[in-house]
Amino acid sequence: MTQYQPQGFKMLPTAVKHLIIINAIVYLADYVLQMRGLSLTRYMALFSVDTHGFQPWQPLTYMFMHGNLTHLVLNMFMLWMFGTTMENFWGTRRFVIYYLLCGIGAGILNALIPGIHLSVGASGAIYGILLAFGMTFPNERIYLYFLVPLKAKWMITGMVVLELIEGLFFTYDGVAHFAHLFGMLVGLCLILWWRKHPFSRF
């Protein structure tokens, strides 16, 4: 069991803070532009590769777009809650590389699924962070809905099963369930690679 005793713990470390600020700025800019009849969606959202809307930069930019304020707030809350721990434990450089690769990898894999019109949100990257937290601190207790204590490893396992079921059977609910799973898959590959090849070598 990993004991979490970081030196110089920060409640809002550098990368988490800047990611929250960037996401908030992009959301606000898109909101203002929409009031003027414009939108960032056609440029920054992720379209599937079988549509005319796909552009090569979208697997990066879609991570900073959100469909509504609730979507933004929930993602940023999870980024703060779990990302803070992982950035303090890993360090900023490793955290940023992991976060971006999870998000970009999830975007690329999701864009390969035919028939998906567009996707937005940081969820692919954040689900990668959730996986990292569960694998690094499997026995840490998380309070589900702030009431029910649940070990991180069981929470992550339940989320994987739930996302898989919803992705297979609730395909038109407006949520990119497979992007969440793809973010976890990329995160799993990175963590397993780093365990065999220590990150400090790179």
Other C-beta atoms closer than 10 Å to the C-beta of 66 total 23
Place of tokens 């490893």: 153
What CATH code is assigned to 14-201?
1.20.1540.10
Average confidence score pLDDT of the chain? 86
Other C-beta atoms closer than 10 Å to the C-beta of 59 total 21
Catalytic residue among 48, 66, 119, 180: 180
Residues 20-41 have a mean pLDDT of 93
Residues 1-21 have a mean pLDDT of 73
Q: Say what the pLDDT of residue 79 is.
A: 96
Instruction: Quote the tokens at residue 79.
Output: 């980024």
- pLDDT greater than 70 at residue 174: no
| pLDDT tens-digit readout, 88-117 | 999 999 999 999 999 999 999 989 887 777
Rounded-to-integer distance, Cα 159 and Cα 3, Å: 24
Residue 180 is a catalytic residue: yes
Residues 142-157 have a mean pLDDT of 78
Q: Say what the pLDDT of residue 50 is.
A: 86
Domain ranges of the chain: 14-201
Rounded-to-integer distance, Cα 175 and Cα 166, Å: 9
Residue 200 is a catalytic residue: no
Distances (CA, A) of 148 to 2, 70, 130, 142, 157: 23, 23, 18, 8, 16
Catalytic residue among 66, 119, 123, 177: 123
pTM of the model: 0.87
